[in-house]
């Protein structure tokens, strides 16, 4: 097979010349192709068959133990001008980066097959969707990309029609962490990644394309590529409003997007549109509209059970690829927080011994087609996307941030997003539990200078007067004994329903220095087991602590020098005045 797109044909030829594969395979995305790849990977040991009685068509993949998460310190934005990448990114000169990568790619595919993966991020008929082609030597990447994107013939046809596509070159190389790099060349819509076979490092349609390259493209084209889930919230009267919510990796986006409302709050229903990435455009009617560029979920396994996320748990009982989970004696997948079963083999493939750490890797994952989700939104594939009523920002904050607050307006909301902070998680290598600024949950994913990115966000106030309301939420407050103060999971619906009713204009709030918080009586607490004092603390602010926070946000904004929009600094001094 080949293509009528001359640029694609030429690129594949060039890459083959450099990497010297034994074979070239153009992926068509068919069932037969997928089956053949799985059969081949079972033979090579790249996949392990799980218990087919309990988990039909489920497989386990074990990655190299040194290759289990994104590597932010090895991820670069390579623009001509360093300033354009900003202090939020590692930067390398494009000529230097290309030379370095070309040397690493030389002969890298010897003895391997080169797979050409045409894919479309977003509904194939959507004007907001964008295409790419990933070249890889990893069959694991191929079978994952098939789940995560519209992959194969239809995408290739669209590429041939549109003429444009993002080029993503990937090789697992020799998995040596010293020869591992994830390079982005946004000016040429190009990605080069070598030395890792894991998640966001290797499935290039996901963070590399749909966030880093897309955010850069979105800035020039007037839209937003965001690290957000998208969900529909249906109220008891049958009305559905859509929200998008940005939380850092492994902070519960998948759980929130699939939430099942508590039984003591009848009549509400949640619909999942997406669980990780959101592309926002202003429609011709001035309404902000969202599409999910992904077709599947690459979700965190640990903690997922019938209580925390029944929809996800149901979704992953069949046709799922598990990565780095543990096994029970009868070959069922197992992870910490499963609540049933006993691990016998750990994620490395060794007999499980608690002395060696958790049975499943904390960043172990499931890859599954979104359509298997019982609450998959009937509008998830709408070409025009879904209309967004509210945007939520949030993170893990043991202290300080109340359960929920509402920004005063869009401009204030951009400050709320820019000033966001969260504790680091196992989704990236490095220390876990350290609070860091993570603007809009995009710290690892924004393909250009955060200062310019905030300016781009602010500019939407000039594009339309129908902008969504903006909120900040924090499910992770802890008391002095380190107990979570808010039950979270399904009970988060109580916060979502307040937000829904705020959009309707039917519920109250108290104005505070940092924004509008619900009064205790504004939140539906029927059937909720929570002490009035705890609720009071969750719904109030500590002015002293917030004064310190505002100082720190100010210092952070200053790190971006002349790129920081004056409007944002004005907003911050307004908050400061209100706190005085």
Point out which residues bind ligand SAT (CB under 6 A). 70, 199-200, 206-207, 249, 298, 427
Beta strands 421-423; 113-121: pairing state? unpaired
For 221, residues 6+ apart whose C-beta sits below 8 A from its C-beta are none
Smallest gap from Cβ 226 to ligand SAT, in A, equals 13
Which residue's CB is nearer to Mn ion, number 126 or number 249?
Answer: 249
Which residue's CB is nearer to ligand SAT, number 145 or number 467?
Answer: 145
Specify the 3-state DSSP secondary structure of 210.
helix
Residue 382 in contact with residue 376, Cβ under 8 Å? no
* Dihedral Cα 395, 396, 398, 399, nearest 10 deg: -10
What is the distance between the alpha carbons of residues 265 and 499, in angstroms, rounded to a whole number?
15
What is the distance between the alpha carbons of residues 347 and 63, in angstroms, rounded to a whole number?
9
Which residue's CB is nearer to ligand SAT, number 159 or number 210?
Answer: 210
Smallest gap from Cβ 37 to ligand SAT, in A, equals 20
Residue among 384, 266, 362, 255 at smallest CA distance from 307? 255
For residue 327, give the H/E element and its range.
Answer: strand 326-327
User: Helical H runs in 222-303?
Assistant: 253-257
Which residue's CB is nearer to Mn ion, number 29 or number 296?
Answer: 296
From the list ligand SAT, Mn ion, none, partner contacted by residue 385 (C-beta under 5 to 8 A by kind): none
Smallest gap from Cβ 256 to Mn ion, in A, equals 13
User: What DSSP line would sit under 493-517, residue for residue?
Assistant: HHHHHHHHHHHHT-S--EE-SSSEE
Smallest gap from Cβ 100 to ligand SAT, in A, equals 23
Which residue's CB is nearer to ligand SAT, number 55 or number 207?
Answer: 207
Smallest gap from Cβ 163 to ligand SAT, in A, equals 28
From the list Mn ion, ligand SAT, none, partner contacted by residue 310 (C-beta under 5 to 8 A by kind): none
Smallest gap from Cβ 390 to ligand SAT, in A, equals 22
251 is catalytic: yes
Specify the 3-state DSSP secondary structure of 457.
helix
Residue among 57, 17, 155, 12 at smallest CA distance from 372? 57
Residue among 273, 376, 374 at smallest CA distance from 317? 374
Question: Long-range contacts of range 549-558, CB-CB < 8 Å, 24 or more positions apart?
Answer: 549/400, 549/419, 550/575, 550/576, 550/579, 553/415, 553/418, 553/419, 553/437, 556/419, 556/437, 557/418, 557/419
User: What DSSP line would sit under 116-181, residue for residue?
Assistant: EEEEEES-TT-TT-EEEEEEES-HHHHHHHHHHSEESHHHHHHHHHH---EEEEEE-TT--GGG-E
Which residue's CB is nearer to ligand SAT, number 210 or number 404?
Answer: 210
Distance of CA 390 to the CA centre of its chain: 18
Of the residues 27, 58, 78, 251, which is catalytic? Answer: 251
From the list ligand SAT, Mn ion, none, partner contacted by residue 200 (C-beta under 5 to 8 A by kind): ligand SAT
Smallest gap from Cβ 521 to Mn ion, in A, equals 36
Smallest gap from Cβ 202 to ligand SAT, in A, equals 9
Residue 159 in contact with residue 118, Cβ under 8 Å? yes
Smallest gap from Cβ 203 to Mn ion, in A, equals 11
Q: DSSP label at 351?
A: B
Which residue's CB is nearer to Mn ion, number 108 or number 295?
Answer: 295
Which residue's CB is nearer to Mn ion, number 316 or number 539?
Answer: 316
Q: DSSP label at 446?
A: -
Choices 7-15, 245-253, 409-417, 469-477; region in contact with Mn ion by CB under 5 A: 245-253
From the list ligand SAT, Mn ion, none, partner contacted by residue 395 (C-beta under 5 to 8 A by kind): none
From the list ligand SAT, Mn ion, none, partner contacted by residue 255 (C-beta under 5 to 8 A by kind): none
For 568, residues 6+ apart whose C-beta sits below 8 A from its C-beta are 414, 415, 418, 454, 458, 557
Which residue's CB is nearer to Mn ion, number 440 or number 538?
Answer: 440
Residue 57 in contact with residue 319, Cβ under 8 Å? yes
Which residue's CB is nearer to Mn ion, number 134 or number 276?
Answer: 276
From the list ligand SAT, Mn ion, none, partner contacted by residue 199 (C-beta under 5 to 8 A by kind): ligand SAT
Of 248-307, binders to Mn ion (CB under 5 A) are: 249, 276
From the list Mn ion, ligand SAT, none, partner contacted by residue 281 (C-beta under 5 to 8 A by kind): none
What is the distance between the alpha carbons of residues 492 and 308, in angstroms, rounded to a whole number?
11
Smallest gap from Cβ 33 to ligand SAT, in A, equals 23
Q: Which residue is nearest to ligand SAT (CB)?
A: 200
What is the distance between the alpha carbons of residues 75 and 89, in angstroms, rounded to a whole number?
8
From the list Mn ion, ligand SAT, none, partner contacted by residue 84 (C-beta under 5 to 8 A by kind): none
The residues carrying an active-site annotation are 251
Binding site for Mn ion (CB under 5 A): 249, 276
């Amino acid at each position: 097979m080949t293509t009528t797109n001359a640029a694609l044909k030429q690129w594949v030829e060039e890459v083959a010349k450099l990497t010297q594969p034994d074979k070239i395979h153009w992926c068509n995305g068919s069932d037969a192709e997928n089956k053949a790849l799985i059969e081949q990977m079972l033979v090579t040991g790249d996949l392990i068959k799980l218990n087919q009685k309990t988990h039909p068509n489920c497989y386990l993949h074990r990655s190299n133990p040194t290759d289990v998460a994104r590597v932010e310190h090895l991820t670069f934005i390579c623009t001509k001008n360093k300033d354009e990448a900003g202090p939020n990114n590692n930067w390398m000169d494009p000529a230097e980066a290309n030379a370095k990568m070309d040397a690493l790619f030389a002969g890298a595919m010897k003895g391997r097959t080169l797979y050409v993966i045409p894919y479309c991020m977003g509904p194939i008929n959507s004007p907001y969707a964008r295409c790419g082609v990933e070249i890889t030597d990893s069959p694991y990447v191929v079978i994952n990309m098939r789940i995560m994107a519209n992959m194969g013939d239809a995408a290739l046809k669209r590429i041939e029609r549109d003429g444009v596509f993002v080029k993503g070159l990937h090789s697992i190389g020799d998995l040596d962490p010293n020869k591992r790099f994830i390079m982005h060349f946004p000016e040429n819509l190009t990605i080069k990644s070598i030395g890792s076979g894991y998640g966001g490092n290797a499935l290039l349609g996901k963070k590399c394309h749909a966030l880093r390259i897309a955010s850069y493209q979105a800035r020039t084209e007037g839209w937003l590529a965001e690290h957000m889930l998208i969900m529909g919230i249906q109220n008891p009267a049958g009305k559905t409003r859509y929200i998008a919510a940005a939380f850092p990796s492994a902070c519960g986006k998948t759980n929130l997007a699939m939430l099942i409302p508590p039984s003591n709050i009848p009549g509400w229903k949640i619909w999942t549109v997406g669980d990780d990435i959101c592309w926002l455009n202003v429609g011709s009617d001035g309404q902000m509209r969202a599409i999910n560029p992904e077709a599947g979920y690459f979700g965190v396994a640990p903690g997922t059970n019938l209580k925390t996320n029944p929809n996800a748990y149901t979704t992953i009982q069949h046709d799922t690829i598990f990565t780095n989970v543990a096994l029970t004696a009868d070959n069922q997948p197992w992870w910490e927080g499963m609540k049933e079963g006993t691990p016998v083999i750990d994620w490395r493939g060794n007999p499980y011994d608690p002395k060696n750490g958790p049975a499943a890797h904390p960043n172990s994952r499931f890859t599954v087609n979104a359509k298997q989700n019982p609450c998959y939104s009937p509008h998830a594939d709408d070409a025009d996307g879904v209309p967004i009523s509210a945007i939520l920002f949030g993170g893990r904050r043991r202290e300080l941030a109340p359960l929920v607050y509402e920004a005063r307006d869009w401009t204030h909301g951009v400050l709320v997003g820019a000033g966001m902070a969260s504790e680091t998680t196992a989704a990236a290598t490095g220390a876990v539990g350290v609070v860091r600024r993570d603007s809009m949950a995009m710290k690892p994913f924004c393909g250009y200078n955060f200062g310019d990115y905030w300016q781009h966000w602010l500019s939407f106030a000039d594009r339309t007067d129908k902008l969504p309301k903006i909120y900040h939420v924090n499910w992770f407050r802890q008391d002095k004994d380190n107990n979570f103060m808010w039950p979270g999971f399904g009970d988060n619906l109580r916060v979502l329903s307040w937000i829904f009713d705020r959009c309707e204009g039917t519920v109250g709030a108290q104005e505070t220095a940092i924004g509008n918080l619900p009064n205790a009586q504004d939140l539906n607490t029927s059937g909720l087991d929570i002490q009035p004092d705890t609720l009071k603390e969750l719904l109030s602010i500590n002015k002293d602590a917030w004064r310190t926070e505002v100082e720190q946000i100010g210092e952070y904004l200053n790190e971006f020098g002349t790129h920081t929009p004056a409007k944002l600094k004005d907003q911050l001094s307004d908050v400061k005045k209100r706190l005085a």
